[in-house]
Chain A
Amino acid sequence: EPEVTQTPSHQVTQMGQEVILRCVPISNHLYFYWYRQILGQKVEFLVSFYNNEISEKSEIFDDQFSVERPDGSNFTLKIRSTKLEDSAMYFCASRGDSTSYEQYFGPGTRLTVT
């Protein structure tokens, strides 16, 4: 069964460093998402991406964040200068087409900023 994959599973970084979280969505899917979940808190929408551009973003997704689909298979989230409060689980998700509703989540990357 096709699945969304994410690497790395756990990333530790120092405050102020840049990190890139990687996702490989399901191959024929067209819509891509990033969410984050701070430990013990709710899942929060960050950004959606369709047709090679951001379709919607939340207030959390400020200039520190960027997304890219560099090669037709990978979907990345870059955090430019990490802060302690960026420590969270980051989930990538993908959805098929405009007629499909289910988002398939990847296993997540746990980001720890020290």
Chain B
Amino acid sequence: GQNIDQPTEMTATEGAIVQINCTYQTSGFNGLFWYQQHAGEAPTFLSYNVLDGLEEKGRFSSFLSRSKGYSYLLLKELQMKDSASYLCAVRGGGFKTIFGAGTRLFVKA
């Protein structure tokens, strides 16, 4: 079957660093995405990994290990506006992208 697991909720403090993990089992793999979604809004693209390793983009970094079926999203220098859901998604063998249930991140002052 196809499955993407990520923690349901996390809480972190403004200015801190938080790591959101994602494990996946899919038939076929053509890349892993991280999206941010604020309540009532559309997902917005954060990162894409197709090869093993770390991709860095400003305060956000994403890591992939294909052999372990594992990724994480690292958010540095947390801001209150980072409070949102973070969605891990995998593009499988064809055109289909499968989303995890999302991790709701609460950033507190």
Interface residues of A (CB under 8 A from B): 31, 33, 35, 41-45, 48, 50, 55-56, 58, 91, 101-108
Contacts and interface: CB of A to CB of B under 8 A. Distances in A.
Interface of B: 31, 33, 37, 41-45, 48, 50, 87, 89, 91, 94-102
A55 B41 CA distance: 27
Q: Which residue, A48, A105, A107, has most C-beta atoms of chain B within 10 A?
A: A105
Given A101-B48, A102-B48, A91 B99 contact: no
Contact of B42 (A55, A101, A108): A108
B48 A43 contact: no
Given A43-B87, A55-B94, A105 B44 contact: yes
A101 B99 CA distance: 15
Contacts of A45: 96-99
Contact of B43 (A41, A44, A105): A105
Contacts of B100: 42
Say what secondary structure dominates the interface of chain A.
Answer: strand
B99 A44 contact: yes
A56 B42 contact: no
Contact of B95 (A44, A50, A104): A50
B43 A43 contact: yes
Nearest to B41: A107
B102 A42 contact: yes
Nearest to A43: B99
